[in-house]
Structure 1
Amino acid sequence: MTSIQHGEGSGRNTRKGLYWLIGIPVFMLGLSFAAVPLYDLFCRVTGYGGTTQISEDNLKGIIDREMAVRFDATIDPGIPLQVVPARIETNAIGTISTVVYRATNLTDEPLRTTASFGVTPDSTGIYFNKIECFCFTEQTIPPNGTVEMPVTYFVDPDLDANSELRTIRQITLSYTFHDS
């Protein structure tokens, strides 16, 4: 009769396999939590998907080409909020401008909201810079109250050097308001 002996290596291999079986799902779970911040960082750096840029000032000056900026607002269903976007503006590219959105709480309770944003055409996101925006922080609107929410922005003059964007005459800045 032959007997099979299990050496030390067998126990080590079992532990190694167990580490892999536990480690891979833990690693995948970690990646799933990191995906949103990493995607957000990618979009901010590249302007992908119409993600705008954040700036402190326009250091490149103003050029002799005009761009219209249209403002849009969407409200998630079920949020008792009315938002009036700013009127369309047409300025020389590079001009720093401030517009105001007005939001009215339609309830007898304070309402907290945040806004996500994007621009269209998507390819202009890398050139649309916000200096100040209500979207950077959570907004609290008093019961039955109306608040003004300013956005200070400019279109980067480098847009004019992009031959694919020479025919673009209007950018739309859109906000979607979410309950927070």
Structure 2
Amino acid sequence: MAGSKLTKNQKMGLICAGIFVFMVGLAYASVPLYRLFCQVTGFNGTTQKAAKASNVVLDKVIRVRFDTNVNNVDFQFKPELAYQDVQVGKTAMAYFKVKNLSDHPIRAQASYNVLPEAMGGYFMKLECFCFTEQTFQAGEEKEFPMVYYLDPEMVNDIDAKGTADVTLSYTFFPVKEGQK
């Protein structure tokens, strides 16, 4: 019998192979999909990117603390100010200095998060150096601005409205060849 019918074992083998290929693809897609999810929802303290400044400014003032870190990169990374007291809805600007302490060029990029996590969806960035690959020559120092505001909608969120201070934490990571 030379028909094209597959046996039960062959069908099961094809199903398992299909599931395996799907799972491998899902594993590769999970990091960018998770990053997108966090950026859209503010989940896990991820700040939001805003197209324009807020039209509403409240009397409420919140202290925004700046935390800077490096991960496996020979940089000195620090904010110009340790914190800013900012009115909710008012646009503010902070500066960060980064210096390559090594004797060779380094490619790196910064990522960020916000604590408490409930504020992630209300920390709105208008301009940021995060997720942008940077090349620093040996000994080179750069200064980066970050423009932001705290969304007045936070006062309508039971988890965010009582917040008195927020920490914006940046970490610089090396970028390896071929990595995006």
Would the TM-score normalized by the shorter structure come out above 0.5? Answer: yes
Q: CA deviation at 1:12?
A: 4.7
Aligned twin of 1:173: 168
Q: Is the Cα contact below 8 Å between 1:60 and 1:157 reproduced in 2?
A: no
Residue deviations 1:106-142 (CA, integer Å, cap 9, x gap): 1222222111100000110000011111113111222
Unpaired segments of 5 or more residues in structure 1?
1-5
Coordinate RMSD, CA, aligned: 1.9
For residues 65 and 170 of structure 1, the distance between their equivalents in structure 2, rounded to whole angstroms, comes to 11
8 Å contact from structure 1 (residues 85, 100) kept in 2: yes
Please name the residue that 2:27 is paired with: 32
**Mapping 1:74-93, distance limit 5 Å:** 74-77=69-72, 79-87=73-81, 88-93=83-88
Aligned pairs (5 A) from 1:90-169: 90-169=85-164
In the alignment, which residue of structure 1 is the partner of 2:56?
61
Question: What is the alpha-carbon distance in structure 2 between the residues aligned to residue 54 and residue 139 of structure 1?
Answer: 19
| C-alpha deviation, 1:149, in angstroms | 1.1
Structure 1 segments, 4+ long, off by >4 Å, are: 6-10
The 1:145/1:11 distance shift into structure 2, 3 A limit, reads closer
For 2:126, what is the secondary structure of its paired residue?
A: strand
| Deviation (angstroms), 1:10 | 6.0
After the TM superposition, which residues 43-54 of structure 1 pair with which residues of structure 2 at under 5 Å, given as runs? 43-54=38-49
CA distance in 1, matches of 2:64, 2:126: 15
CA distance in 2, matches of 1:37, 1:164: 27
Query: Which structure features the higher share of helix residues?
Result: 1
Give unmatched runs, 5+ long, in structure 2: 176-180
Identity %: 37
CA distance in 1, matches of 2:128, 2:10: 53
Aligned residue in 2 for 1:73: 68
3-state SS, counterpart of residue 167 of structure 2: strand
8 A contact 1:71–1:173 mirrored in 2: yes
SS in 2 for 1:94: coil
In 2: Cα distance, 1:97 partner to 1:116 partner:
20
1:20 paired residue number: 15
Equivalent residue of 1:23, what SS?
helix
Which is further off, 9-18 or 141-150? 9-18
Q: Which has the larger radius of gyration?
A: 1
Q: CA deviation at 1:80?
A: 1.2
